[in-house]
Structure 1
């Protein structure tokens, strides 16, 4: 990336609140976790963000990977014996193709990087602007946008892993939440507040919100909310 850091890492910050005496509250950089190398700078427009191609139009849409930060949101779970934090960001998985880099950070005592990988099947499809979450059994899901310049209109897909799956993998198969059928013109802006959350009623059902395009036109994106869960979690 463009910021000149000596290596790729996640900086962990901890905020300890003292409600009785706010002046004694602390906000400290508690850890710097080295992660597998990634490239967040795409070879795209002068603004550094209009990078994702769409079929039938010249307008490209936001990748936002240049900000080099994990995307909304960082999902925290406390399983008693261990605490877990999962997050993701958009990266250049291969030349000109975006992928979803995801991380799980665990804390039995000090924060450590437990697993990480980039989800990017070799099919020429951009996967980016993602969000990740974890259910009560430690199964993890990842939702994201998809598009390319030839045949895949901006749409929404998801995948995931069971807690028992091999580390550093999302092997549960990619699913289509909704396929796009049009391209956006007039603006590169895209859904950086996409969010995947677990339903508190059963702690199993994932709810995902993102945007897609149904009909080609100027800023004609639409919102889709969908739900799913892994087998063996919930009824």
Structure 2
């Protein structure tokens, strides 16, 4: 009989990558991000490895213990890779050994797969470009835009992608202007969620706030707006929110946030 990990243990995750719809430049940031949610017990990547277009991935497979799955393009214009990934996902699902799946692709063809995995009670983390169709984003429990991962591992140049460790110092200079391009945070949306879950004094537990935001907008990420964490984002809008740290009996600090109501 299959059992899942307890709440105190790290989740066992199956990472399935669509090589045709994910750049190799994200590999470092990808697995650093996945490590926040659990252990990548299975790491597979799908594509036609006989062609030259996946050369970037070939260079990093061994370093990250990613198993390449060969899938020939049987018919021009048809993506056999998607079918292979979906079949493997269902096989892994029925082993009952996993707590969640990481689907790395910007392809809307995986929308139904994400929904099906969630129907079985598993957590689905999606990773794709900002152009990813909304239905796939909404089908995941959480969706991380890979542009955020690329910022940490590759400089925004028009040349071949390279990891930060290999990049020359002057290559990263264009990233200095990046913060000015960040979109404004959805203050009104955050305030509404905060008010909905707040106590009688208007304070909301920051962890609960983040969880409720993600339920409604799986793609929400403070990094999209130039902040490392949700607490940093809250601090960044002092005209709208205030933050409070409360000490618990165990000596640890718990963060609470409150929406500043406009003065009449």
Q: Give the structure-1-normalised TM-score.
A: 0.25
Structure with more of its chain in helix, by fraction: 2
Greater fraction strand? 1
TM-score, length of structure 2 as denominator length: 0.23
Q: Flag the structure with larger Rg.
A: 2
